[in-house]
Structure 1
Amino acid sequence: MSKRVEFFFDLGSPASYLAWTQLPALCARHGAELVYRPMLLGGVFQATGNASPVMVPAKGKYMFVDLQRYAERYGVPFGLPPGFPINTLGLMRGLVATQLHAPERFEALLAVLFKALWAQRLNLGDAPVLDATLDAAGFDPQQFRALASQVEVKQALKQVTEEAVARGVFGAPTCFVEGQMFFGQDRLDFVEQALA
């Protein structure tokens, strides 16, 4: 049986974006399955008493420098969208809705949203900007919102978030390989080692 990498993430986490730029190729190198586990980072913070590094000014300032270093190492575009940090509840629900109702389109939507936020630096918390982004990528903004408002979708996001907390997750991104937990996009070398 091939190994699996469970990837717990939130679109609003810049470190989740950087991990996402690397994980598909990393998993492919080792014949591992990449399992996407969208969670709500705000819910994780609330449950664990953790907080975003930006809440500590010196730490937040350093974090952005460090993330930029990794983006340069990975050769990927990266910048902060206006209004950062944004509330990702609607985005995460829309993503979960697509994962549930149109799984074949999930990875394409994930790519659109991650790139819009962190490569194009768009404020997806602004409804017209989100609508234009979805529309340009061939996704129906009205359908995105309608599916995101379904009770089963809200419950699914809540369940994954609660599962993450129960498994020891306190931030994003967090990966699991055969029961081992790895926090942070700067721990992908350990993820790769666990797959080797």
Structure 2
Amino acid sequence: MTKTVEFYFDLGSPATYLAYTQLPKICAETQSELTYIPMLLGGVFKATGNASPAMIPAKGRYMFQDLDRFAKRYGVPLRINPHFPINTLMLMRAVTGIQLHQPQRFHDFIDCLFKALWVEGRNLNEPAAVAAVLTEHGYDPQEILALTNDESVKAALKENTETAIRRGVFGAPSMFIGNQLFFGQDRLDFVAEALRQS
């Protein structure tokens, strides 16, 4: 029976970006499936009383240094976005809309946004910057904006977020194998280990 990793993610988390760069390889090596589940990290924080480590200056400085160490270990580019934190409500609605209505473009869509945020350091708090990134990658910004205003898309993202909270998610990235939760990109070795177990 093929195992599945459910990957609860929000684009605004640099740790989630690092997990995103590694999970496909881990799943390929373990012949497992990877399921992407967009959620709204701000909603999770509000419901659980959690907050970004970056809100505590000393912890934030350490976290960014640690993420840089992991990026070097993984051999992937990482630039801490100078505009962090990013309000991801519209972005995550767009991601959800693409997943629902244009699933064949989903991987390219999240890839261009993750890279815009965590490689190029773009200010995706600004609608004009988002539109520029989308246009560069062959998307119609007006079409994407329409998706973010679609009630079914809003409802799907809300449901994903509420489901994550019910399952015990308190931050991102969060990964489930069955009912077992793994939190943080620094726990990917445990994810791989669980997938290898028969």
| TM bucket normalised to smaller | over 0.9
d(CA) in 1 for partners of 2:152 and 2:178?
A: 28
State the partner residue of 2:132. 132
State the partner residue of 1:33. 33
State the partner residue of 1:52. 52
d(CA) in 2 for partners of 1:66 and 1:82?
A: 17
Q: Cα offset for 1:124? A: 1.3
Q: Cα offset for 1:79? A: 1.1
d(CA) in 1 for partners of 2:189 and 2:81?
A: 28
Which letter maps to 1:61?
R
* 1:137-180 CA distance string (max 9 Å, x none): 11111101101111111110010000000000000000001211
* 1:57-116 CA distance string (max 9 Å, x none): 111110000000001111111112232101000000000000000111111101000011
d(CA) in 1 for partners of 2:83 and 2:137?
A: 23
State the partner residue of 1:97. 97
Which letter maps to 2:42?
G
State the partner residue of 2:195. 195
Runs of 4+ in 1 over 3 A off after TM superposition: none
State the partner residue of 1:88. 88
State the partner residue of 2:10. 10
Which letter maps to 1:125?
N
TM-score by length of 1: 0.98
Q: Cα offset for 1:55? A: 1.2
| 1:148 correspondence with 2:148 | yes
- Structure 2 residue runs without a partner (length 5+): none
Q: Is the 8 A contact 2:3 2:33 kept in 1?
A: yes
- Range with bigger deviation, 50-59 or 88-97: 50-59
Q: Is the 8 A contact 2:172 2:184 kept in 1?
A: yes
State the partner residue of 1:166. 166
State the partner residue of 2:77. 77
Which letter maps to 2:23?
L
Task: State the percentage of identical aligned residues.
Answer: 60
- Structure 1 residue runs without a partner (length 5+): none
d(CA) in 2 for partners of 1:16 and 1:60?
A: 15
Q: Cα offset for 1:125? A: 1.4
d(CA) in 2 for partners of 1:60 and 1:82?
A: 13
The CA RMSD over aligned residues, in Å, is 0.7
* 1:122-141 CA distance string (max 9 Å, x none): 11111121111111111111
d(CA) in 1 for partners of 2:82 and 2:73?
A: 24
